Structure 1
Amino acid sequence: MTKLNRRQFISIATQRSGILAASLWLPDLMLNGNPARAEGAPIQSLYVNIHPDNRVVFNLPKQEMGQGISTGYAMIFADELGADLEHMEIINADYSRSFSLAMQGITGGSSSTSIGWQPLRKAAAELRIRLLAAAGRYWKESPDGYTTRGSRVIDPVKNRSITFGELISFVLPEEKINVVLRPASEFQYIGKPLPNVRIGAIVSGRHQYGMDVALPGMLYASIERCPVFLGKATSIDDSAARKVPGVVDVFPLEGFRRDAASENMSPSYLYTVQDGVAVIATNSWAAIQGRKVLKINWDYGKHGAASDQRINALLSSSEAKDGRKILDAGVLRERQPGDRRIDTSYDITFQAHALMETLNTVCDVKADSCEVWSGHQFAKRIVEQLSPILSLSADRINVHVLPSGGGSGRRWEADFVVEAALISRHAGKPVKCFWTREDEIRHDYYHACERHLDEVTLDSAGDVVAWHGKRLTFNNVFLEDTWNPYMDSVPSRSLSLVELESPVQVGPWRSVNPHRNTFSRECAVDRIAAALGQDPLDFRIAWLKKDLIVPSNEKNPSEWLKKASGDRQALVRVLERARELWPGKGKGAGVAITTMHSTCAHIAHVEIMNGRPLLKRVDVIVYCGTAVNPSIVKGQFEGSIVWALQAVLYGGVHLKDGRVVQSNFNDYKMVRINEVPEIEVHIIESNDPPRGTGEPGVPPLAPAMANAIYSLTGKQPAAIPFDWA
């Protein structure tokens, strides 16, 4: 019996049977210009296909990286349509420009659920209404009173039903309808803690990741990259590598930097394909063994002497620089008698992603086409970058978006896909380019190192009257983040940016800038509360209830007030819920808050054991609008806390002679199960539209833990990872 892959199966199935497809009748979602079709002919789909045997196949437009978007999106669509979720098949959509940029272009920024909420419901509701009308034609009466459930149209008055599949030929795509969404009272799935729909395939090994892809005649490639960022090869001796059994070729890869700008995306920044030598073989083992015997001389370039000591020295010498003002609000206040100034300094070191599934991509480049299989968060970027590099039009590049074992911003970048494409073009065959664990830790797109300096002035009455901050950063993306809800009621406030050249590539890391900003901001607030002798949680609530002061240079004051007041209301809401769980000042608990789509507060409970702080428990209070699946929301925050705790305990890559020192889990440690605290996630009930939960749980962990230590010892950790000396 011939085995068919998913793409072949769908192609044959749509040729041989009628298929009803959702969302084709909305103009901005149509794949074909003319929605009309011959009776019984197949209809292509964006979101869902309904087959005559009543199989409902959902086309997932986002990339699944373990965050559970497969389940969340399927629940939303199934609820609005009235489909049987338990028997709904979920497939990964290939990249298509027919999807909007929001719906498929990017999986990241904790935005998928909030972005997809309305488009998915509207597409499903339209199909539901068309199916109801089709049932009316089938039964030859008005469909008033009909409903859908379990992938059937139900007539409750006459106690009869018919499957969606049986109604395919009765649906009129050109029929004008009025789309009405279901009321929340009719939801069958949304709001329930249902199991992950893909968990069975994951635990049984049927869930296909990029590492699982195997094509006929496929070769394997492993790259020896320059150990120093932007270094170049000066000579290569590959004679021994070519003698390794299984090695078929050795290909020097000339490094380059390109603008990562994407259509409708800003800001742009440079991404890097490192100089290296690719060993191409018939199997991965041979590629690795061939790589080990390469003899390469490198010119390490300007970063060849980079080290931890030099980075710290550069940060210290840059503190006196004025920097570039990215926030300047209010009038500069001269110091008055009775004023007190609190100066704080916090460091965040470079952090690696250390994803469970290392990077990999399969590319098959031909003279007139390119096919890509990759667990990637931003397929649109793949097409946009490969098109000029391969001299192919965008429509000749086909990207199969696969699930991945983690993403967290690293799979947002194009470098590892570009490498695979260049090697495939050279080899003339499909190639799987794979990274080892050492490659990933030593050639990552690191969370940028920063030092945050703040000067906070209290007047004689104890009010914060000035807050002036400065960020010394090796970052080069999303630099303009100035969010600080406390500053919004400070009369004199500013934020400056001193940009430093990074000795390593930097890029998005789960929670991006809020991870750094929240650490310094929330630790500074505890210092201010301590100076005033106030409870840190009550102090935050009181501060966030103060009157807002619109920046003097704000171009749209009404919009600024709307956003700032909305942020503060959500923050106060979670803090007032947190107060119910708060043990009180000086009892080993610390609090921190942030808003990153969802709004959350962490209460970290710490004990001192054998002279070292131990995180015993974390209470998470989150406002995320409608929790589509509370189980997945809780899982997101539990995973976020483990991610953040790794950075606190073991994170931070070290540089020596321009190279990253660590290489694997023996020296870039992960959090072990016995180190994970008890985690309780408290979701504030709401009927508001859902908000993202993939990242907001990361930023508050470190400052909440630092503040808990501060409450016990009077000493506050001032860097991530924490210094336990």
Structure 2
Amino acid sequence: MQTLPNASRRNFLKLAATAGGGLLLGFNWTETEGAVVATDATAVNAAVPGVGFNSYLSINPQGVITILSPNPEVGQGIKTAFPIIVAEELDADWRKVVVEQAPLDTKKFERQVAGGSGSIPHSWTRLRQAGATARQMLIGAAAKRWNVPAAECTTASGSVIHTGSNRKLTYGELATEAAQLPVPTDVKLKDQKDFKIIGQTIKNVDNPGIITGKPLFGLDFYREGMLFAMIQRPAFGYTLKSVNDTTIKAMPGIVDVVTFDNNVAVVGKSTWQVKKAKDALKIDWTKTDATESTDDHNRLFKELLDKPDATVRRKDGDVDAAFKSAAKVVTAEYQCPFLPHTPMEPMNFFAHVRPDGVELVGPTQTPELARNETAKLLGIPPEKVSVQLTRMGGGFGRRLKADYVIEAVQVSKRVNAPVKLIWTREDDMTGGSYRPAVRYRFQAALDAQGNMIGYKLRGASINAGNSTREDNFPAGAVDNLLIDSVDHKSAITTGPWRAPITNFLAFAEQSFLDEVAQAAGKDAVQFRLDLLEKAKAKPAGAVKYDVDRMVGVIKLAVEKSGWGTKKGVDGNAVSQGFSVYFSHRSYVAQVGEVVVKKGKPVVQKMYAVADCGVVINQSGARQQVTGCIVDGIGHAMYGNITFKDGVPEQTNFNTYRLIRLNEIPDVEVHFVDNGMDPTGLGEPALPPAGAAVANAIFKATGKRVRNQPFAEDEAFKSVS
């Protein structure tokens, strides 16, 4: 068993007992120490007002254990993973564990965010402490009733057991008595070898509701008497001049047409009536000098890459001397386009602005931002704004912003009524916040033995800020290194897109490393291992990744994929491409397998090895890795948004290409079992996917794909 040191303890709050029976534990998600109190409760949602706690573990007299989960559920399985962790330390009967979504409450919770693959790393110890504390109190209650030492009692499947006297009591039977005992200041956490639930395959707790159509998502939310709204937004670089609002207001079911911030909002009694009225809008827009086209961006990239001055992100050694003495210099440029987020559920939110405050309900990855932006807009204290979270039908970073929430607030305020704002798919694709567009220029200097003695990377981007990750591999493995960046500010709105920056940087970096390995006459995997050995034995500057963990995923991926040994079947040779990346505190290596069928490269299999520490739920973890890979290769091969005079040219899935079912390869997932605390998993498997496929395509065709989407790259198209 493992005892938590005092510095790792979380505050447990013991509240006064009520007549209903049951144990309710509040546990603090912050680092502060404080008083501890416990209580009885009959309902999981019966939170005691005015008590400084952040989340609750409750046990009712029937033995049902409930977690009030603060983090938004965006499809990453957090509502399943959180109770798994608590149930493990509690030795609970999993069939009696449930979880409820908490509203935003910054006094009780911290980090109510779905982003950065950080929910589990942040909550791991806190949740374990919650379960272990309750378990120890239940043991204490049983020991007191039986008049035996607590050390003689054990737990299993929601019961306390005294083997010596062959007695057993369920947690439900003990909950009320346990609530009367002092909360322990030191609790013991399980050794990982004793885990019974963590690491198993557990079904998502929301599956029954999703399958049966329960109203879980933002689009499902309905309030009697609410109005519906849709908005026509300007293209990028345009301003509103006039609109035929009088005609629209006369249409059936339309309550009002309001304008704000260059937007035109149609408000009515039903979604269909509002949609028809929105389609009938005739708006005169004024074009400004800020409008841009994709052709402008392509010319701009060249200027940015050749710009004499740039922001230096990292510089090690004497780069100029290394390139001057090089036996060979390898140069390549890689480009990635704007991408929309395209979640299955378009943006939507409910807002009711009242004299006494504001009620918000809907899908957001950052509820606190939604609250604060609303309070700022209306000039009211944040405490006057309540935010209730719904499950999200995808987000991928789009719902980290609060623009669509503020739109709902603006409309509700103007029409003085509760309003459900709904974006159409076209709205979502053309008026959204895109992944930035970027072009990279790489240069590598090789000595006569094929060793990389110099490395340069410049990132030229549109609205990305720093389009590099200057401390990621191969930084620290090359003596002479220069990484810099330049950025162009555009009217086109951009924002985080699943695995921000690394989602396209990894494709470029890992593809270029294959080019360098080829020029050096070395195996692509061995080339990386040699660099990592250098980073460990004789680092060049700071090494901010774990060399051993990266080497570990590489070697396991080589083993599981049979790297370099595949012969192919049915006359189709199998070509393998390799990629490895570190992001969101996790390490993922991938091998993509491509065959050429009818003159066209086809991705038939992907191997993935992830080192993300302890795997909470095998089912959820495998789904996350598989989903990342499908998302990664699908967008690398097909995704693209282009602009003409500030107007997006792709407006729906008939013109914006997604990967199709028959194009999804078989995905084989493996995890490194190192016993470390869990790290991120919602994003790390996406960045290396594109390069694994691109490198396999080169092996299969002899043509290097340097631009996304691959399907539009001349090298890819010339294969067929």
Cα contact 1:582–1:603 (8 A) shared by 2? no
Letter in 2 for 1:363: A
Q: Give the aligned partner of residue 381 of structure 2.
A: 393
Equivalent residue for 2:424?
A: 436
Alpha-carbon distance, 1:369 to partner: 1.0
Task: Please say if residues 19 and 50 of structure 1, whose CA atoms lie closer than 8 Å, have aligned partners that are also in contact.
Answer: yes
For the 8 Å contact 2:642–2:648, the answer to whether it is kept is yes
- Do the aligned partners of residues 680 and 583 (structure 1) sit closer, same or farther apart at CA in structure 2, a change above 3 Å counting? same
Question: Residue 108 of structure 1 aligns with which residue?
Answer: 115
C-alpha change, 1:137 and 1:15, in structure 2 (3 Å) is closer
1:433-582 map, 5 Å: 433-476=421-464, 481-548=469-536, 560-561=542-543, 563-564=544-545, 566=546, 568-580=547-559, 581-582=561-562
Rounded to whole Å, the distance in 1 between the matches of 2:508 and 2:611 is 23
Counterparts of 1:372-387 in structure 2, within 5 Å, are 372-387=360-375
Partner of 1:182 in structure 2?
190
Task: Go from structure 1 to structure 2 and tell me whether the alpha carbon gap of 1:210 and 1:183 turns closer, same or farther (over 3 Å shift).
Answer: same
Question: What does residue 105 of structure 2 align with?
Answer: 96
Counterpart in the other structure of 1:252: 259
Once the two structures are superposed, what CA deviation does each residue of 1:641-675 show, in whole Å capped at 9, x if it has no partner? Answer: 11112212320101112110111111112222111
Matches within 5 A, 1:239-318: 239-254=246-261, 275-304=262-291, 306-318=292-304
C-alpha distance in structure 2 between counterparts of 1:36 and 1:202, whole Å: 35
The 8 Å contact of residues 21 and 43 in structure 1, kept in 2 or not, is answered as no
Determine if the alignment matches structure 1 residue 325 to structure 2 residue 312: yes
Mean Cα deviation higher: 651-660 or 140-149: 140-149
Distance 1:39 1:710 in 2: 63
> Does residue 149 of structure 2 align to residue 142 of structure 1?
yes
Query: Is the contact made by 2:635 and 2:659 (CA closer than 8 Å) also made in structure 1?
Result: no
| Letter paired with 1:324 | T
Partner amino acid for 1:355?
Answer: P
Shift of 1:479: 5.1
1:23 aligns with 2:55: no
The corresponding residue for 2:74 is 65
2:561 is the counterpart of 1:584:
no
- Looking at structure 1, the residues matched to 325 and 633 of structure 2 have their Cα atoms a distance apart, in angstroms, of 43
* Residue ranges of structure 1 left out of the alignment (5+ in a row): 1-13, 255-274, 553-559
Amino acid at match of 1:490: V
Secondary structure of 1:144's aligned partner: helix
Q: Distance in 2 between matches of 1:166 and 1:37?
A: 15
What secondary structure does 1:546 align onto? helix
Deviation track 1:8-54 (CA, whole Å, cap 9, x = no partner) reads xxxxxx99834522234888689x98837699997647132222332
Worse-superposed segment, 164-173 or 658-667: 164-173
Tell me if 1:53 matches 2:99.
no
Decide which moves more: 486-495 or 276-285: 486-495
Q: Relative to structure 2, which stretch is displaced further, 148-157 or 338-347?
A: 148-157
Would the aligned equivalents of 1:593 and 1:600 in 2 still touch at CA under 8 Å?
yes
Amino acid at match of 2:293: S
Deviations 1:276-318 (A, max 9, x none): 11111111111111112222211232333x2111110111122
Instruction: Name which of 211, 227, 232 aligns with 1:224.
Output: 232
Normalising by structure 1, we get a TM-score of 0.89
Of 174, 180, 183, which residue of structure 2 is paired with 1:172? 180
Letter of the structure 2 residue corresponding to residue 93 of structure 1: A
2:303 aligned partner, one-letter code? S
CA displacement, residues 356-400 of structure 1 (integer Å, 9 cap, x when unaligned)? 011111111111211111111111111221111122212111111
Q: Match for residue 161 of structure 1?
A: 168
Conserved? CA contact 1:25–1:174, under 8 Å: no
- Provide closer, same or farther for how the CA distance between residues 127 and 38 of structure 1 changes in structure 2, counting only shifts above 3 A: closer
What's the CA shift string for 1:305-356, capped at 9, x where partnerless? x211111011112221121111122223324455211111000100111110
Candidates 692, 698, 701, aligned match of 1:704:
692
CA drift at 1:483: 3.2
**1:65–1:338 distance in 2 versus 1, CA, 3 Å:** closer
Structure 1 residue 634 corresponds to structure 2 residue 622: yes
Say if 1:518 and 1:699, in contact at 8 Å, map to a contact too.
yes
Q: Which amino acid aligns with 2:140?
A: A
Query: Structure 1 residues 178 and 659 mapped into 2: Cα distance closer, same or farther (>3 Å)?
Result: same
Q: 1:86 aligns with which of 84, 95, 113?
A: 95
**Cα pair 2:27 2:57 within 8 Å, conserved:** no
- What residue is the counterpart of 1:359 in the other structure? 347
- Code of the residue aligned with 1:116 in structure 2: it is S
Other-structure match for 1:608 = 596
Instruction: Give the whole-Å Cα distance in 2 for the aligned partners of 1:516 and 1:85.
Output: 40
Amino acid at match of 2:304: S
Q: CA–CA distance in 2 between the matches of 1:399 and 1:505?
A: 25
Alignment check: 8 A CA contact 2:37 2:183 kept:
no
Distance 1:25 1:373, change over 3 A: closer
- Match of 1:391, as an amino acid? G
Structure 2: gaps (5+ residues): 1-16, 566-572
Q: Which of these residues, 189, 193, 200, is aligned with residue 201 of structure 2? A: 193
1:49/1:58 contact within 8 Å kept: yes
SS of the counterpart of 2:209? helix
Change (3 A) 1:526 1:474: same
Task: Indicate the SS of the match to 2:476.
Answer: helix
Q: What SS does the aligned partner of 1:217 have?
A: coil
Q: Distance in 1 between matches of 2:139 and 2:18?
A: 26
Partner of 1:210: 218
Give the conservation status (yes or no) of the 8 Å contact 1:108–1:409: yes
Query: Which residue in 1 is equivalent to 2:8?
Result: none
Query: Does the CA contact (< 8 Å) of 2:459 and 2:467 recur in 1?
Result: no
Q: Counterpart of 2:211 in structure 1: which amino acid?
A: V
Q: Which amino acid aligns with 2:23?
A: L
Structure 2 counterpart of 1:410, one-letter code: R
What do residues 437-467 of structure 1 show as CA deviations (whole Å, max 9, x unaligned)?
A: 0000101211110000011111222211111
- Please say if residues 550 and 587 of structure 2, whose CA atoms lie closer than 8 Å, have aligned partners that are also in contact: yes
What is the letter of the counterpart of residue 630 of structure 2?
Answer: V
> What are the Cα deviations for residues 70-90 of structure 1, in whole angstroms up to 9, with x where unaligned?
111111111111222222222
AA matched with 1:364: H
Alpha-carbon contact 1:602-1:620 (below 8 Å) kept:
yes
Equivalent residue of 1:530, what SS?
helix
Preserved contact between residue 519 and residue 702 of structure 1 (Cα < 8 Å): yes
Distance of 2:512 and 2:115 partners within structure 1:
29
Q: Which residue type is aligned with residue 245 of structure 1?
A: P
8 Å Cα contact 2:29-2:109 kept in structure 1 = no
Say if 1:599 and 1:624, in contact at 8 Å, map to a contact too. yes
Residue 12 of structure 2 corresponds to which residue in structure 1?
Answer: none
- For residue 550 of structure 2, what is the amino acid of its counterpart? L
For the 8 Å contact 2:326–2:445, the answer to whether it is kept is no
- CA distance in 2 between counterparts of 1:237 and 1:587 reads 60
Of 344-353 and 41-50, deviating more is 41-50
Cα distance in 2 for partners of 1:309, 1:240 equals 38
Note if 1:35 corresponds to 2:15: no
- Number of paired residues? 677
